[in-house]
Amino acid sequence: MPEIKKASCLFCSFQCGFAMEMDAGVPVRIDLDTEAPHNLGSLCTRGHYNLELLVHPKRNLAATVNRRRVPWTTGVTKVAGKLKEIKEAGGGDALGVIVGTELSNEDYAATVAFAAALGTSNVAVAYDGNDYPFLMGGGGGDAVASDLDDADCFVLVGDVFWGHPTVAKRVIESRYRSRSNRIYTLNPYRSNTDWFADRHIVVRPGAEPLFLAGLLTAMNVQGAPKVDLNVAATAGGMVTEELQAIADGLKRHEKVVVMASSRLGDSMSGYLTGQLASMLAQKVGGKYAPLFRGGNALGAYNTISSARTVPELLADVSAEKIKGLLVFGPDILQLYPGAVSTDDLEGLELLAASAIFENDTTKHSDVGMPLAVWTEMAGSYTGSMGVETSIEPLTDPQGDARAAGEMLKDIASEMGAALAAGGATAAHPELAIDASVELARMAGQSHGDGVVLIESINPLHRWDGTITGRMSFPKIVSPYCDIWIGEEAAQRLGVEAGSNVALATERGETTIIATVTDRMPGGLVAIPSYVPDVRGLLAWTLNSATKWYDVAALGAKLTPGT
Amino acid sequence: MERGRQGTTLRESWMNKRNVLDYGRCISCRSCIAACYYSHNFQDQLEASTVVTNAVLQMNCRHCEQPLCEAACPQEAIKRRDDGLVIRSTNLCSGCTSCAQACPFGAIDLERTRHHMPKCDLCDWRTLESKETMCATTCVSGARTFEDVSDIEAQRGSPMRGSRTVAKTWRGKR
């Protein structure tokens, strides 16, 4: 009789529950957990990767020093020795720690304690996309999954169904429960989410906050930034009367849920979208439900202060202020391409990188440490929409792989330091942002004729590609990446459907297959940002106000290829 | 009486169940295909195409009453069971693709052949335990369901026979 064990998925912040069929302690098949309270048994494509992730033959299994396999204790001794050396020479602030968003709350608590033991304030979370500005703007939200069942109106910002497919069933069921129920979507292009919308607001890319502020202004909400209704309506591709009608319509509903999906792009737009979406939900007496790309982004945010952010830490690495860097989880070279160079990483006295698979960052590391998958270690996780997850390990970690918290304890012990018990709540410094000024700036923007970054999220893939790039399923059903071009832009550029196009930016050039689609209005083009080659062409510039990256395809040109 | 993997008896209720596809609710996330792939030892059994932009048309095996794939198979690897399920024996299949070419619904994949042809088995290890098929259970939008024939007939307003897979386009997003 096979044993069925329950676990949770950490590929996004909704943290879907699933079950695993085990045969003599070996995971053999995903079994869907229809008792999981928030996803009710549904699982998206990424959720099914959890099986392959556990049994993948190319996992990192052993510690490495200078790319040679070594026993675990040798790796720990090397890291501890170097950390001591750097600290004695340059003080605690010559050291830095970066953690990913798929670690457990216990790992984050251990990271804070480890940084305190090292005497450094350089601890930062490698949030993906605009997760960080979203969190700073709107916080973790107050909606819970069951709120979706009795909601009578949804405002969906971004391509919610594609980024977080498992919320789709509840939203669609609620919409069709009553004829008067409504779904409003804000999205620059016609996505599968918008297919279910009663009103798809084709907003100008990055101008989502402007339209949300327009709704708040039309509702005459006290304390909300005021904007010109004509400008806000134009940003939403409609006339002022329509915007007013939508605002009036929202006020008539009793249970509104405002859901926003984090994505790449302008960090200020992400921050204000979070802030204004949260405010809109509050003012109509509804609930705010942000959905993040990082599985435990909310747990990291609740535990680790954002006094220092990854862009600041990586700038310090480039400026040679940080000499020793520990990375747990993310592939920072692929996650933020161009933000830090390989030469900068090579120039560090110590780069210790821990990851599930070998990636670009681990290739340049002095010490590599195998990271366990979330289903191999016990831990608690904080999801969005009130989802609290506690995972019991399905199997023992493969090889020498282990949780980040355990590694930090081993290193601290080798250094002769003890980690204090965690549990403190992180404090986040206020960002000095004047919403009115930023909205006025957005009002003056237009996307013109150039290539505008619109992220075509693909549920088969996930951010830096180091995990989904290793999975067999996406390679079978989506063997090539494509760029989505609107019919108007394709005609203007002379691009034929299915042909190659050359995408060139200030950072380089790559060739992609073109999909000509009526989903992209006007001259818009959507770039598959999950593909590392394409991601590397984007400019990642630090926004001093949000302390996060603004991502754009600067100077992008498309030309028909061969 | 046929017995399942864990010795459970084949239930009458399962015999009357059908895989129902409501294309109006599909968000083309492909989770059904992923579920099929990972639950069948990393082999696709569910063929799909995207002839429209907003939905993935999953071309499930219909488990025909007179299967052409069974007639075309030179190895006699494909058999129609008494309960109506058309199954393929992995050991007997030689991967000759005759069944894929014979199938009038394109439900057997010609391109992704490994050593033998993938073929929908209606997740018999689950259905014998009175669970729904993987593709129906995993569906994130409610487009795929595993419904009783009487319920389907009540919605259609007309009797149905034969096929174990029903395409439903009369409900959902218009």
pLDDT tens string A141-180: 999 999 999 999 999 999 999 889 999 999 999 998 999 9
Mean pLDDT of chain A, nearest integer? 91
Which one has a higher pLDDT value, A450 or A159?
Answer: A159
Does A475 contact chain B (CB < 8 Å)?
Answer: no
> Considering only CA atoms, which of A498, A485, A481 is closest in space to residue A532?
A481
Q: Is residue A438 part of a domain?
A: no
Q: Is residue A497 part of a domain?
A: yes
CB pair distance less than 8 Å for A165 and B6: no
pLDDT computed for residue A450 by the predictor = 57
* A49 and A71 fall within a common domain: no
Of A75-84, A237-246, A534-543, B12-21, the one with minimum mean pLDDT is B12-21
Q: Among A234, A260, A291, give the residue marking a domain's end.
A: A291
Q: Is B98 helix (H, G, I), strand (E, B) or coil?
A: helix
Q: What is the pLDDT of residues A262-282, one digit of tens each?
A: 888 889 999 999 999 999 999
* A232 and A332 fall within a common domain: no
Report the pLDDT averaged over residues A308-337. Answer: 94
Report the pLDDT averaged over residues A519-523. Answer: 81
Report the pLDDT averaged over residues A386-395. Answer: 93
* A232 and A351 fall within a common domain: no
Name every chain B residue with its beta carbon within 8 A of the beta carbon of A51: 38
Which one has a higher pLDDT value, A511 or B54?
Answer: A511
Q: Among A291, A307, A333, give the residue marking a domain's end.
A: A291
CA distance A516 to A491: 10
CATH number (domain holding residue A20): 2.20.25.90
pLDDT computed for residue B160 by the predictor = 67
Does B27 contact chain A (CB < 8 Å)?
Answer: yes
Q: Is residue A467 part of a domain?
A: yes
Does A477 contact chain B (CB < 8 Å)?
Answer: yes
Report the pLDDT averaged over residues B107-123. Answer: 70
CA distance B43 to A483: 28
Q: Is A527 helix (H, G, I), strand (E, B) or coil?
A: strand
Name the pLDDT band for B49 (thresholds 50, 70, 90): low
Q: CB burial class (10 A; 0-12, 13-18, 19+) of residue A480?
A: exposed
> Considering only CA atoms, which of A206, A293, A280 is closest in space to residue A246?
A280
Of A211-220, A483-492, B121-130, the one with minimum mean pLDDT is B121-130
Report the pLDDT averaged over residues A350-369. Answer: 95
Report the pLDDT averaged over residues B2-7. Answer: 43
CA distance A461 to A337: 17
Of B2-6, B18-22, B86-90, the one with minimum mean pLDDT is B2-6
| Vertex A186 angle, CA B173 and A269, to 5° | 155
Q: How far is CA A260 from CA A132, A201, A208, A263, A364, in A?
A: 13, 14, 10, 9, 36
In this complex, the residue of B6, B27, B35 whose CB is nearest that of residue A165 is B27
Q: Is 70 exceeded by the pLDDT of residue A562? A: no
* A18 and A92 fall within a common domain: no
Of A14-28, A201-215, A403-417, B1-15, the one with minimum mean pLDDT is B1-15
pLDDT computed for residue B60 by the predictor = 76
Percentage of chain A beyond pLDDT 70 is: 98
DSSP letter at A373? P
CB contact at 8 A, A288 and A58: no
In this complex, the residue of B39, B134, B140 whose CB is nearest that of residue A168 is B140
DSSP characters for A225-236?
PP--HHHHHHHT
CA distance A251 to A219: 8
* Domain span holding position A255: 132-291
- Spatial neighbors of B80 by CB under 8 A, at least 6 apart, are B63, B67, B70, B86
What's the 3-state SS for A53-84? HHHCCCECCCEEECCEEECHHHHHHHHHHHHH
Backbone angles phi, psi at B173, to 5 degrees: -70, 130
Chain A nearest-CA residue for B135: A42
Q: Is 90 exceeded by the pLDDT of residue A422? A: no
Name the pLDDT band for B127 (thresholds 50, 70, 90): confident
CB pair distance less than 8 Å for B138 and A477: no
Of A435-444, A543-552, B36-45, B60-69, the one with minimum mean pLDDT is B36-45
Q: How many CA atoms lie within 13 A of A208 on its CB side?
A: 35
pLDDT computed for residue A235 by the predictor = 93
Does A14 contact chain B (CB < 8 Å)?
Answer: no
Closest CA of chain A from B48, distance in Å: 9
DSSP-H helix ranges across A91-167: 105-118, 131-138, 147-150, 160-163
Q: What is the ipTM of this complex?
A: 0.90
> How many residues comprise chain B?
174
CB contact at 8 A, A548 and A266: no
In this complex, the residue of B6, B25, B54 whose CB is nearest that of residue A1 is B6
CB pair distance less than 8 Å for A30 and B31: no
* A400 and A462 fall within a common domain: no
pLDDT computed for residue B138 by the predictor = 94
CB pair distance less than 8 Å for A34 and B29: no
Scanning A34-53 for CB atoms below 8 A from B yields 34, 41-45, 47-49, 51-52
CA distance A270 to A41: 31
> Considering only CA atoms, which of A23, A17, A165, A474 is closest in space to residue B125?
A23
Report the pLDDT averaged over residues A35-60. Answer: 92
CA distance A307 to A210: 28
* A500 and A377 fall within a common domain: no
pLDDT computed for residue B148 by the predictor = 81
CB pair distance less than 8 Å for A477 and B33: yes
Q: Is 60 exceeded by the pLDDT of residue A311? A: yes
CB pair distance less than 8 Å for A42 and B39: no
In this complex, the residue of B31, B42, B137 whose CB is nearest that of residue A45 is B31
Closest CA of chain B from A24, distance in Å: 16
CA distance A168 to B25: 9
pLDDT computed for residue B173 by the predictor = 35
* A90 and A163 fall within a common domain: no
Chain B nearest-CA residue for A167: B140
Report the pLDDT averaged over residues B120-132. Answer: 82
Q: Among A415, A430, A457, give the residue marking a domain's end.
A: A415
Which one has a higher pLDDT value, A15 or A418?
Answer: A15
Torsion of Cα atoms, A234 then A235 then A240 then A242, to 10° = 120
* A153 and A182 fall within a common domain: yes
The domain total for chain A is 4
Report the pLDDT averaged over residues A288-300. Answer: 95
Q: What is the pLDDT of residues A214-259, one digit of tens each?
A: 999 999 988 899 999 999 999 999 999 999 999 999 999 999 999 9
* A137 and A285 fall within a common domain: yes
- pTM of the full predicted structure? 0.91
CATH number (domain holding residue A83): 3.40.50.740
- Spatial neighbors of A438 by CB under 8 A, at least 6 apart, are A209, A268, A272
Does A16 contact chain B (CB < 8 Å)?
Answer: no
Q: Is residue A422 part of a domain?
A: no
Q: Is 90 exceeded by the pLDDT of residue A49? A: yes
Structure tokens at A539: 């400019």
Name the pLDDT band for A549 (thresholds 50, 70, 90): very high
Name every chain A residue with its beta carbon within 8 A of the beta carbon of B53: 517-519
pLDDT computed for residue A203 by the predictor = 92
| Segments making up each domain of chain B, as ranges | 12-168
Q: Is residue A435 part of a domain?
A: no
Name every chain A residue with its beta carbon within 8 A of the beta carbon of B39: 29-30
- Best of A29, A33, A43 to mutate (most B CBs within 10 Å, chain B): A43
CA–chain centroid gap for A237, Å, is 28
Does B112 contact chain A (CB < 8 Å)?
Answer: yes
Closest CA of chain A from B60, distance in Å: 16
Q: How far is CA A303 from CA A107, A297, A308, A378, in A?
A: 10, 10, 13, 18
Name every chain A residue with its beta carbon within 8 A of the beta carbon of B59: none
Percentage of chain A beyond pLDDT 90 is: 72
Name the pLDDT band for B6 (thresholds 50, 70, 90): very low
Q: How many CA atoms lie within 13 A of A219 on its CB side?
A: 25
Instruction: Identify the CATH assignment for B12-168 out of 3.30.479.30, 3.90.226.10, 3.30.1490.110, 3.30.70.20.
Output: 3.30.70.20
* A101 and A145 fall within a common domain: no
Q: Is residue A429 part of a domain?
A: no
Backbone angles phi, psi at A428, to 5 degrees: -115, 125
* A139 and A78 fall within a common domain: no
CB pair distance less than 8 Å for A165 and B33: no
Does B170 contact chain A (CB < 8 Å)?
Answer: no
* A154 and A275 fall within a common domain: yes
Which one has a higher pLDDT value, B77 or B121?
Answer: B77
